[in-house]
Amino acid sequence: MLVSQTLDIVTTAAILYVVAAGLLIVFGVMKIINFAHGGFLTMGGYSALAVSDLGLNPVLSIPFSFAVGTVAGMAVERLVVRPLYSRPLDAILATWGLGIIIGQVITLIYDRGVHFVQSPISGAVLVLGEEYSKYRLVMVAVAIAFGGALALILHGTRLGLVTRAVIMNEDLARGLGIDSGLVRFVTFSLGSGLACLAGALITPLSSVDPSLGISWLVNVFMLVLVSGVSLFSLGVAAIVLGGAQVLISSYANPVYGSMAIVILAALLLRVRPRGFASE
C-alpha cells in the first residue's frame, strides 16, 4: 500500500505538472490566465485521435499535437489576445469564450461522442513488489523532461533571457529595446503548443471527448495561482496538492479528494498570498 500510494502521489503530481506547464508560462509573461487552456488540451486529445485514425504510429502524435497547438496559439495571439493587451480582464474573458468556441468547433467536426486513442504503452510493470501502470510511470519522465526543457530555454538561451526580463519588468525591458510584443507572441504560441501536447499525452489515461480539457482546467488554474511564475514552485505545488488529493481520496473519499486542490489552494492563498513561490 505504501509503495503504491507513493507512486500514486508522484505520478499524479507529474501529470498535473505536464498539464499545468503551458498555462504557467503564459501566465508568467502575459499576466493573464489563459482560460482557453482547456480548449487547447482538448485540441491535443483530438490531434492524437487524428493520428491514430490515420493509422500512424502513436508516437507521431507528440510532434503533431505540439505543431497544431503552436500554430493555433499563433493565430489566437495575433487575432484575439494582442488587441486586448491593455485590457487584461477582457483578455481573460476572451480566452474563456475562445475555450467554448474550440469545444463547439470540435463537436461540429467530431460529434459529442466519446472517442478512444490506442495507447503506445499499455499494461503494468512490477515496481518494488507492486504492479503499477507503465504509462503513469512514463509520465514522471515526461514531467521531468518538460521542466528541464523549459528551464533550459529560460536560463540558457537569449530568448529565455529576454523572456525573464519581460517577466520581471515589462516596461523596463521595453525601454532597453526588447520587443516585448514578440516575447508575448512566442510565449503564447509555446504555451499553447505545450497545452496541446499535454492533451495528447493524457489520452492514454482518459477518453477523448469535447469536454476533455474542462475537467483539468480548474485544478491546474489553482496550481498556477499558488506557484507564482516559477517552474520549481509549480513542481512543489503539484506534489503537495496532488499528494493531498491522492491521500484524501484514499483515506476519506474521492468526492472530497476531487475538491482538495481547489480548497487547499484557496486556503493557502489566504494565509500566504505568494503561495509556494519563494519571493
- Residues of the shown chain interacting with another protein in the complex, contacts defined by CB under 8 A: 1, 4-5, 8, 11-12, 112-116, 118-119, 122-124, 130-136, 204-207, 209, 211-212, 214-216, 245-246, 249-250, 253-255, 257-258
Q: How far is the CB of 72 from another protein (least distance, A)?
A: 23
Q: How far is the CB of 11 from another protein (least distance, A)?
A: 7
Residue 66 CA to residue 84 CA, distance in Å, equals 25
Q: How far is CA 142 from CA 19, 23, 160, 217, in A?
A: 11, 17, 21, 20
The nearer residue to another protein, 169 or 207, going by C-beta atoms, is 207
Q: How far is the CB of 19 from another protein (least distance, A)?
A: 11
Q: How far is the CB of 39 from another protein (least distance, A)?
A: 16
CB 102 within 8 A of CB 36: yes
DSSP code per residue over 52-84: HHTT--GGGHHHHHHHHHHHHHHHHIIIIIGGG
CB 70 within 8 A of CB 193: yes
The nearer residue to another protein, 147 or 243, going by C-beta atoms, is 243
Q: Sign of dihedral through CA atoms 200, 205, 209, 212? A: negative
Q: How far is the CB of 134 from another protein (least distance, A)?
A: 7
Residue written as grid cell 500512424: 56
Q: In 3D, which of 10, 45, 5 has the Cα closest to residue 144?
A: 10
The three cell numbers locating residue 10: 508522484
Q: How far is the CB of 185 from another protein (least distance, A)?
A: 32
The nearer residue to another protein, 230 or 249, going by C-beta atoms, is 249
The nearer residue to another protein, 61 or 180, going by C-beta atoms, is 61
H helix or E strand, kind and range, residue 125: strand 124-127
The nearer residue to another protein, 109 or 176, going by C-beta atoms, is 109
The nearer residue to another protein, 118 or 169, going by C-beta atoms, is 118
Residue 220 CA to residue 100 CA, distance in Å, equals 18
Q: How far is the CB of 27 from another protein (least distance, A)?
A: 23
Q: How far is the CB of 239 from another protein (least distance, A)?
A: 14
The nearer residue to another protein, 52 or 187, going by C-beta atoms, is 52
H helix or E strand, kind and range, residue 103: helix 88-110
CB 199 within 8 A of CB 41: yes
The nearer residue to another protein, 73 or 103, going by C-beta atoms, is 103
On the CB side of 26, how many CA atoms lie within 13 Å of its CA? 34
